[in-house]
């Protein structure tokens, strides 16, 4: 018996709310301290700039907005992370309406994403990769709308969200490069016109302050990213081993995803009709960015860290459903539903178990206690320096001091010791 549209919409809303609630609650009650990357973003947010020693500024901007509203309440930053996730799910749901006549297929295209751990198990740690999610989804959404309508407002929105994506993480350029190849194809076929170049106006304007900051700071974030790839230490074998490791890890990550699909299809029979604009678009946004990352690893011999791929799989659900739609057997939904529910609850249960049973994690760090010790040290060492206004140090140790103290001293990067400073940057060494 077919499920009516209103019921499907209600199921989708329940799914979003459930995901948001569970993945905000579980880490809030099982972690003693915020994860490393979240503390890092909060440290940057305390002293906002157009860039930082590791990454562009968008993650810092978002956490700072939440800090100004909610203060030092850990649950708020778990909530922020999940808002990025469920908002992206919502955008995918909206886009799917242009690809499917049957609402149940739209629903399945989002539910399948629970089979990819980037969208559940790793999400409590708000970081630059989670920050990318809403901008990745919005860029693709308005890109599709712009290609279909050629409205100026859609091109402007695409360019704006693409810029915010780059300000989240530079790997966003892999998506933009893939879309650029698609645009070239459309221009050659004269299926769009030069209105698409309007998107460059907001893109350049939004990115310009960060680019100027990069120049002033010797492109520090770019060199940090290159260092993380191990690009300066590569050997010939790395050109083979790193891409193979990359493919192996990605395949492993997708096992639950493909398991869920197996319960939907009669048999796997894939047909790629590239003359189908919808098919071509989905292939470009889902597979081409990953292929370009693989080629980068192959050609340059660099390693690709697993977490970097977080946003790359956002549209895998809709792409898989569209490619396999003729093979989908809705009579098998019972098996799919059971598998989905197992994964939906097993993932947070596993997270909770690991969080409680393992006691040597960053999230077990006594951040509040350490911050209070620093405050007491500052108070006892000097009576004339005035209020604690700055803390110099690395993002983790100094960042925890900044986050957990009511006075919230601004964080300043220092690769060595930790210093506590007054408003005139007169400092005493703490550690």
pLDDT tens profile 277-318: 999 999 999 999 999 999 999 998 888 889 999 999 999 999
Cβ(334)–Cβ(267) under 8 Å? no
pLDDT digits (tens, 9 = 90+) for 341-367: 999 999 999 999 999 998 889 999 999
Q: Can you state the percent helix, strand and coil of the chain, rounding each to 5? A: 70, 5, 25
Smallest Cα–Cα separation from 15: which of 141, 131, 99, 110? 110
DSSP code per residue over 220-288: HHHHHHHHHTTGGG--TTHHHHHHHHHHHHHHHHTHHHHHHHHTTBSS------TTSHHHHHHHHHHTH
Most confident of the following: 15-24, 263-272, 412-421:
15-24
Single pTM value for the model: 0.94
pLDDT digits (tens, 9 = 90+) for 31-60: 999 999 999 999 999 999 999 999 999 999
Q: What is the pLDDT of residue 232?
A: 58
């Amino acid at each position: 018996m077919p499920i009516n549209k209103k019921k499907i919409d209600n199921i989708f809303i329940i799914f979003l709310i459930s995901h948001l609630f569970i993945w905000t609650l579980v880490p809030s009650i099982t972690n003693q301290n915020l994860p490393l990357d979240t503390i890092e973003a909060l440290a940057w947010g305390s002293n906002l700039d157009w860039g930082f020693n590791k990454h562009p500024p968008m993650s810092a901007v978002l956490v700072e907005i939440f800090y100004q509203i909610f203060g030092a309440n850990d649950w708020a930053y778990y909530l922020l992370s999940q808002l990025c996730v469920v908002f992206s799910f919502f955008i995918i749901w909206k886009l799917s309406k242009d690809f499917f006549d049957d609402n149940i297929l739209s629903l399945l295209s989002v539910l399948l994403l629970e089979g990819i751990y980037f969208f559940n198990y790793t999400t409590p740690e708000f970081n630059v990769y989670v920050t990318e999610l809403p901008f990745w989804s919005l860029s693709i959404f308005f890109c599709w709308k712009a290609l279909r309508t050629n409205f100026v407002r859609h091109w402007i929105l695409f360019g704006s969200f693409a810029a915010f994506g780059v300000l989240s993480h530079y790997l966003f350029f892999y998506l933009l490069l893939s879309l650029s190849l698609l645009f070239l194809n459309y221009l050659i076929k004269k299926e769009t016109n030069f209105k698409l170049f309007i998107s460059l106006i907001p893109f350049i304007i939004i990115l310009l302050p960060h680019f100027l900051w990069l120049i002033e700071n010797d492109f520090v974030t770019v060199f940090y990213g290159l260092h993380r790839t191990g690009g300066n230490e590569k050997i010939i074998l790395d050109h083979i081993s790193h891409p193979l490791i990359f493919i192996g890890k990605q395949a492993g990550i997708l096992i639950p995803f493909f398991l869920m699909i197996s319960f939907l299809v009669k048999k796997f029979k894939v047909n790629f009709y590239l003359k189908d604009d919808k098919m071509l678009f989905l292939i470009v946004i889902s597979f081409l960015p990953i292929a370009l990352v693989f080629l980068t690893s192959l050609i340059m011999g660099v390693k690709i860290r697993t977490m970097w791929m977080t946003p790359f799989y956002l549209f895998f659900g809709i792409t898989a459903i569209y490619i396999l739609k003729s093979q989908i057997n809705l009579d098998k939904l019972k098996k799919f539903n059971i598998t989905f529910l197992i994964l939906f609850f097993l993932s947070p249960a596993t997270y909770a178990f690991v969080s409680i049973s393992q006691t040597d994690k960053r999230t077990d760090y006594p951040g509040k206690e350490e911050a209070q010790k620093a405050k007491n040290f500052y108070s006892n060492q000097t009576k004339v320096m005035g209020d604690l206004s700055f803390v110099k140090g690395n993002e983790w140790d100094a960042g925890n001091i900044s986050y957990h103290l009511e006075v919230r001293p601004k964080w300043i990067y220092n690769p060595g010791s930790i210093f506590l400073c007054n408003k005139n940057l007169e400092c005493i060494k703490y550690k």
